[in-house]
Structures are given as structure tokens and as C-alpha cells.
């Protein structure tokens, strides 16, 4: 979820063959890395589930709560390429330790903003300034996790089991995204919303200790590997961003993630203030569980379709899901609407990277694919500003209009994507 999630379709195997593959195809470090990732995602999505609501209702930054949360996610999802330089330079283990250490400190400091104990610090620095500093500190640390875990999965899987290895990893990412909000709800109701951040801090501290005790640096032939440097990252960025056709598509497709992030940025306020439903975290888990359930059957159903057709259908599902919420306006309609969105996500996601690869120059596919996550970051940034604007202008006066506008934005982006594919992609191939 959200994050962004990745998917793969496995070849058919017997149950006993799959068990043997799981037992013999991975090193112990593979399983350690995936366990660390499961609990890291649990802490991350536990925080994401309440962050915008926490900043607005507890910290007091009501007018820009979603905007700040959007910046938080944008930094996390836009820096992994740069973070890869640190992995190459310092190794997976030390970089992972740095990530968990920064997460532990950062989550605690964010939680401190909503506690009486932190009043002296926030008043001295300024509440808004303090919040921005600790959010960005935490986000920078969070950007280190993706290259560490993904790289470890690649290095600790045998060639014939690497596809399965990534399937296991992505399943645990989704599982953490589904369970995290449920844990957050329990803590928020029993202890207070600020203690959700403290829970994430404690979890990260335990993961730091676990990394020290159990995680071993993955073996690899470092001499033959293409080491990334800041110069190489800048060169790749210059190459990719100068390709206007490629970047234009990523910008258009970012609207898909602009809609996705509203589950965390806008829905909690709608649930509590309009529907009078306090357990908004339950609604946030619907998408994650929906993706887990629907991805494999939708991939099988659309396996013979062209990637762009599949993506378009998924985009349409996601765009129309908000009409269900806006038109009916009940708790049940929110569940149905978010599940309908997960249908769109499960439909398009398996083919997104295939389509993006087709847009990249043939001799530069690897470089361009490294930037395929940008729609998630762009979507998060724009989603924050949009959520605050919608909430301030429509939540109390005409809440259905929030969802109509969001749906209209999605439908408009779908049309733009179709026009883009027809005039700039297919016409060039003819």
C-alpha cells in the first residue's frame, strides 16, 4: 500500500515444490530482513494512519495537517535513489541501523509535539517549526529503508527463487500496511493518539537492536557491482528529467496516488466529523486487505490484456470509487468505495512497471525504471495540499462535494492518460 507496492505473478508449482523452494532458496538473512520489514511497515503505517488527524487535533496545526503529512511521505518516497549511495558506501547493515535509529528518535520527537512534556521545547523553537524539523528528520531516515531491504532480498535469494523472494517481501509490506492501522487504533483509544508515535518509536528502537544482533551483511561480489555515487545519481536525474515524454506520464499517473493518499489525509476527518465514526483506522485498512485479496485474481483475469488497457481500467475503477462515497454518504458506502479503489489498484499495479519500461529508451530501461516510484511522491505532495483545501472548504458545509471533486480529478487524469498514450506513444510507434 501507498506505498508503493509491487507485485509479481508466480509460475504454477505443486504445494510440495513451493515448500521446498521456500525452505532451500533463501539464506537466513533473507528471513531476518523480511521480519524487520514487516515490523517497520507496521510502525510506519500505524503512524501514517493517524498522522494527519494527530497534527490537526492534537498538535494544533489544523490548517496544514495534511500538507505537512504529504511532505513527510514525499521525502520518504523521493529519496531512495540518493539513499542507495549510502548503502553502497556503508553497507546494508550500517545503513539499516541508521534508518531504525533515526526512525526511533524521529517518531518520539513527533509524539513529543502533542505531549505536555514537549511544550517547553516546542514553545522555544516554535510549534510549526519544530514539527516540520522532526517530520523531515524522520522522513530522511525512512528513505533509507527501501534500498536496504530490497537490496538484501535480491542478494539473499537464489536466481531461481528471486521472484518468489520479492513476492514474499511485497506480501509482508501489504500485511504490515493492513495491521499497522489496527494496532494504532487500539493504542489511540487506550492511551491517546500521541502514544501511537511512541509505539512506532519503541518498535524502531527494537528493530535497531534486532539489526545489531541478527542481521548479517549480505554476501556479494562488490568488485563487480556498479557502485552508485552522488555524481551518478545526478547524471541519472538529468537524463530522466530531460525526457519530457517519460516525465509527463509519471506526472499524469501521480493522480492515481493523489487519490490513494486521501484514505489517510481526508478520510479520517470525514469519518469522525461527518459519519461520527471514531474508528477511522478500520476504514484505512480496507484498501490494504483489498489489494492482498484481489491482486492475484485480477492479474490472472487481465493477463492477456495490453498493459495500458489494464492500467486504464484500474484508473477508472479508482476514480469512480469516490462517487460511491459522495453519492451515498454512509459508513457502508465508504467501505464499498475504498474496496472499489483497491480493485483499481490491484488491477493496474501489476502492469504499471511493464508499461513504464516500454516508455524508456531501450538502452536506458534500468536507469529510467529507478524513477518509476516518482508518482507516489508527487501524488503524496499534491494530495496533502488538496486534502487541506477540501477539508477547510467543504467538510462542514458540503462533504459530498469533496469526493465528487476528487473523482472528477481522477477521471480527468484518466482522459489525459488515454490522450497521452494515443498521441505521444502509439502515434510515434506507427
pLDDT per position as a tens digit, 173-191: 889 989 999 999 999 999 9
- Per-residue pLDDT band for 347 (boundaries 50, 70, 90) equals very high
pLDDT in tens, 398-430: 999 999 999 999 999 999 999 998 888 765 555
* Per-residue confidence (pLDDT) for residue 154, from 0 to 100: 81
* Per-residue confidence (pLDDT) for residue 337, from 0 to 100: 97
Nearest Cα to 80, choosing from 198, 237, 305, 203? 237
* Per-residue confidence (pLDDT) for residue 20, from 0 to 100: 58
Q: What percent of the chain has pLDDT over 90?
A: 63
What average pLDDT does range 226-241 have in this prediction? 82
- Provide CATH 1.20.1250.20 ranges for the chain: 12-228, 235-430
* Per-residue confidence (pLDDT) for residue 9, from 0 to 100: 45
In degrees rounded to 5, what are phi and psi of residue 26? -135, 150
* Per-residue confidence (pLDDT) for residue 7, from 0 to 100: 47
* Per-residue confidence (pLDDT) for residue 147, from 0 to 100: 83
The CATH code for residues 12-228 is 1.20.1250.20
> What pTM value is reported for the model?
0.90
* Per-residue confidence (pLDDT) for residue 385, from 0 to 100: 97
Q: Is the pLDDT of residue 207 over 50?
A: yes
pLDDT in tens, 47-65: 999 999 999 999 999 999 9
Range of lowest pLDDT (165-179, 250-264, 296-310):
165-179
Q: Which three cell numbers stand for residue 309?
A: 488497457
More confident residue, 273 or 5: 273
* Per-residue confidence (pLDDT) for residue 353, from 0 to 100: 82
Q: Is the pLDDT of residue 192 over 90?
A: yes
| pLDDT mean across residues, the chain | 89
* Per-residue confidence (pLDDT) for residue 429, from 0 to 100: 58
Give 157's strand partners.
26
Q: Is the pLDDT of residue 221 over 60?
A: no
What average pLDDT does range 231-247 have in this prediction? 88
Give 26's strand partners.
157
- Per-residue pLDDT band for 8 (boundaries 50, 70, 90) equals very low
* Per-residue confidence (pLDDT) for residue 391, from 0 to 100: 98
More confident residue, 222 or 80: 80
Determine whether domain 235-430 maps to CATH 1.20.1250.20. Answer: yes
What average pLDDT does range 222-237 have in this prediction? 72
> C-alpha dihedral over 205, 209, 212, 213, to 10 degrees?
-160
Instruction: Write the CB contacts of 101 (distance below 8 Å, at least 6 apart in sequence).
Output: 141, 204, 208
Q: Are 47 and 196 in contact (CB under 8 A)?
A: yes
Range of lowest pLDDT (25-39, 296-310, 361-375):
361-375
* Per-residue confidence (pLDDT) for residue 149, from 0 to 100: 87
Long-range contacts made by residues 296-305, C-beta under 8 angstroms, separation at least 24?
Answer: 296/9, 298/343, 298/346, 298/347, 298/350, 299/7, 299/9, 299/346, 299/350, 300/9, 302/347, 302/351, 303/9
Amino acid at each position: 500500500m501507498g506505498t508503493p507496492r509491487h507485485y509479481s505473478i508466480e509460475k504454477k508449482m505443486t504445494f510440495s515444490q513451493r515448500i521446498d523452494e521456500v525452505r532451500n532458496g533463501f539464506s537466513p538473512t533473507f528471513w531476518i530482513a523480511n521480519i524487520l520489514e514487516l515490523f517497520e511497515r507496521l510502525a510506519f503505517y500505524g503512524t501514517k494512519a493517524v498522522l494527519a488527524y494527530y497534527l490537526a487535533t492534537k498538535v494544533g496545526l489544523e490548517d496544514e495537517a495534511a500538507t505537512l503529512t504529504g511532505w513527510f511521505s514525499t521525502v520518504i518516497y523521493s529519496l531512495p535513489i540518493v539513499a542507495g549511495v549510502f548503502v553502497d558506501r556503508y553497507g546494508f547493515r550500517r545503513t539499516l541501523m541508521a534508518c531504525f535509529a533515526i526512525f526511533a528518535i524521529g517518531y518520539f520527537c513527533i509524539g513529543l509535539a502533542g505531549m505536555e512534556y514537549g511544550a517547553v521545547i516546542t514553545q522555544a523553537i516554535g510549534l510549526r517549526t519544530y514539527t516540520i524539523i522532526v517530520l523531515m528528520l524522520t522522513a530522511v531516515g525512512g528513505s533509507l529503508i527501501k534500498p536496504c531491504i530490497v537490496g538484501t532480498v535480491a542478494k539473499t535469494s537464489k536466481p531461481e527463487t528471486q521472484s518468489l523472494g520479492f513476492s514474499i517481501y511485497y506480501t509482508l509490506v501489504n500485511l504490515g500496511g493492513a495491521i499497522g492501522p489496527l494496532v494504532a487504533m487500539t493504542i489511540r483509544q487506550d492511551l491517546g493518539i500521541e502514544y501511537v508515535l511512541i509505539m512506532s518509536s519503541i518498535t524502531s528502537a527494537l528493530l535497531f537492536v534486532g539489526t545489531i544482533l541478527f542481521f548479517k551483511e549480505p554476501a556479494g561480489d562488490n568488485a563487480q557491482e556498479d557502485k552508485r555515487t552522488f555524481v551518478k545519481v545526478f547524471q541519472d536525474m538529468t537524463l530522466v528529467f530531460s525526457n519530457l515524454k517519460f516525465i509527463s506520464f509519471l506526472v499524469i499517473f501521480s493522480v492515481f496516488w493523489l487519490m490513494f493518499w486521501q484514505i489517510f489525509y481526508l478520510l479520517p476527518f470525514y469519518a469522525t466529523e461527518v459519519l461520527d465514526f471514531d474508528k477511522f483506522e478500520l476504514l484505512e485498512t480496507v484498501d490494504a486487505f483489498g489489494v492482498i485479496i484481489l491482486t492475484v485474481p485480477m492479474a490472472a483475469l487481465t493477463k492477456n490484456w495490453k498493459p495500458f488497457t489494464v492500467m486504464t481500467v484500474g484508473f477508472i475503477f479508482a476514480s469512480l470509487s469516490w462517487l460511491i462515497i459522495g453519492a451515498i454518504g454512509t459508513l457502508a458506502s465508504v467501505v464499498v468505495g475504498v474496496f472499489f479503489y483497491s480493485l483499481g489498484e490491484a488491477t493496474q499495479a501489476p502492469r504499471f512497471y511493464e508499461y513504464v519500461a516500454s516508455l524508456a529508451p531501450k538502452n536506458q530501461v534500468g536507469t529510467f525504471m529507478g524513477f518509476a516510484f516518482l508518482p507516489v511522491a508527487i501524488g503524496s505532495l499534491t494530495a496533502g495540499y488538496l486534502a487541506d483545501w477540501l477539508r477547510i472548504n467543504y467538510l462542514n458545509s458540503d462533504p459530498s462535494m469533496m469526493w465528487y471533486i476528487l473523482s472528477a480529478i481522477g477521471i480527468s487524469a484518466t482522459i489525459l492518460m488515454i490522450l497521452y498514450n494515443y498521441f505521444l506513444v502509439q502515434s510515434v510507434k506507427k
